[in-house]
Amino acid sequence: MAGRFLSLFKPIARGIPEIKAAERRVSFNEKIFWTALVLIIYLVMSEIWLVGIPTTQIQQLAPLSIIFASSRGKLTELGIGPIVTAGIILQLLVGSAMIDCDMSKPEDRGLFTTASKVFSIILTGVQASAYIIGGMYGALLGTTAILIFLQLLAAGIIIMLLDELVQKGWGFGSGISLFIMAGVAQHIFWQCFSPGTGLFVGALTLVFTGNQPMTWWILEGGGAYPSLLGFIATIAAFLIIIYMEGVRVELPLSYAGYKGFRSRYPIKLLYVSNLPVIFASALFANVYLFSQIFWNMTGGNNFWVNLLGQYQWITPTEGGQSTLEPVGGLVYYVTSPHSLANVIARPDRAFGYIGILIVFCIIFSLTWLEVGGLGPSTVAKQLVDAGMQIPGYRRSGKAVESILNRYIPTVTVLGGIIVAVIAGVSDFFGVFGSGMGILLSVGILYQYYEILMRERAAEMYPAFRRIFGG
């Protein structure tokens, strides 16, 4: 049954919009052009309001905006959420062998891509419907609701195609990574220089006009404004994550067929990178989203809905737009306090949040170890098949696996705890762009640095292209 699942998508493949893969070698400058164009289109879409929505009814969904690179009330309302969710679901199904898919076969890869697109479109429709039915835009007429649904669906398909354009060899990396990085950079820039509430513009103006003391600007910000402490914490978080990315244990290797030729296998401290915190944050964000939708639908008069999440309209003491904030239920403990003042006021919420985040990051780390093919047995087989062995040990999978078992499970758990603590504690200090956003940005920037260096080397020295697999 599992083997027949992907075959169900064969008849659908022709009707799904598709970007053709590059059939020729795309030059470095061309890739720069297409990557920049994709980014510009996405940023323009993130500034265009959906037609038909009353902007006064827009409710902020801050936990979703960073993770899913979304903009409230705009064409990028759903962001990359449907694409990421569809990809995670299918990857987990394939990794757990519930779906039979051999990625080495072009046909299976094509069907997997088609299935991802179909799931993305379906999830776009489901989330768009949930937003409309759940009252996220207030009360809407039937025709207006249909118009908004069609806009969200069309925007979701465009975002999917933009991502595919980059991934099919026309650009660098992936559109998803590009959009997340751009969104985080936009948040950080806006928190620094927004005319109304930016740290170095709006907030500083309040200090100069005597409306707020300097200590408020340095330490607090009152929730509506960023603080200097948050700015310093942002820089510190960047430096800590960059350092952690470079920490690794290197196992000595030798090639059985070439005596004297040595190499090393690096096992990074962040072995599964920031994937655990991505999955955990995506889970928390969806809990936040659907609890708010259900709360809007019931008006807070249902016991089970209140158990999931309770909300209240909060207006900042310094003025600004009122926001619907969680004040109880499960969602209260899976959203960050976002400031030291809130941590001090409700330490139970802070410890609850960081504890739940650590537990889920460990669970997702260990799960992805096997699902992503990063476990000791899989890595040992890959090394032995490549003709490698650890000096002083027999050339067998069991011998290599026993050595890897000393390191990989430990660094997997430790890495999950570290990314959870960095993401959680960074939010406590009010970092710009959220702790999760900083984690993602550093990882993405590191990947883009490697891609650009590899592409530039292949462009200048074509012989390297064969080494890089081009």
Q: Could you tell me if residue 167 is inside a domain?
A: yes
Task: Give φ, ψ of 49 to 5 degrees.
Answer: -70, 145
Lowest-confidence segment of 148-152, 229-233, 283-287, 385-389 by average pLDDT: 385-389
Last-in-domain residue among 176, 203, 231: 176
Q: CB-based contacts of 151: which residues, under 8 Å, 6+ apart?
A: 50, 51, 52, 75
Q: Could you tell me if residue 225 is inside a domain?
A: no
- Which of 19-23, 38-42, 134-138, 263-267 tops mean pLDDT? 38-42
Q: Which pTM does this prediction carry?
A: 0.79
pLDDT category of residue 67 using cuts at 50, 70 and 90:
confident
**pLDDT, position 38:** 93
Please give the residue range of the domain that contains residue 252.
Answer: 240-467
Residue 150 shares a structural domain with residue 267: no
Residue 411 shares a structural domain with residue 303: yes
Q: Could you tell me if residue 18 is inside a domain?
A: yes
Q: Could you tell me if residue 205 is inside a domain?
A: no
Residue 263 shares a structural domain with residue 172: no
Lowest-confidence segment of 74-83, 201-210, 262-271, 322-331 by average pLDDT: 322-331
Measured in Å, how far apart are the chain's first and last C-alpha atoms?
36
Q: Are 46 and 75 in contact (CB under 8 A)?
A: yes
User: Which CATH number goes with the domain that contains 136?
Assistant: 1.10.3370.10
Last-in-domain residue among 151, 176, 201: 176
Q: Could you tell me if residue 33 is inside a domain?
A: yes
Q: Could you tell me if residue 189 is inside a domain?
A: no
Sequence letter at residue 442: V
Q: Could you tell me if residue 213 is inside a domain?
A: no
**pLDDT, position 159:** 93
pLDDT category of residue 55 using cuts at 50, 70 and 90:
low
Residue 284 shares a structural domain with residue 414: yes
If one counts the domains in the chain, the total is: 2
Last-in-domain residue among 176, 191, 226: 176
Calculate the alpha carbon distances from 104 to 25, 98, 109, 169, 374 in Å: 22, 18, 7, 18, 17
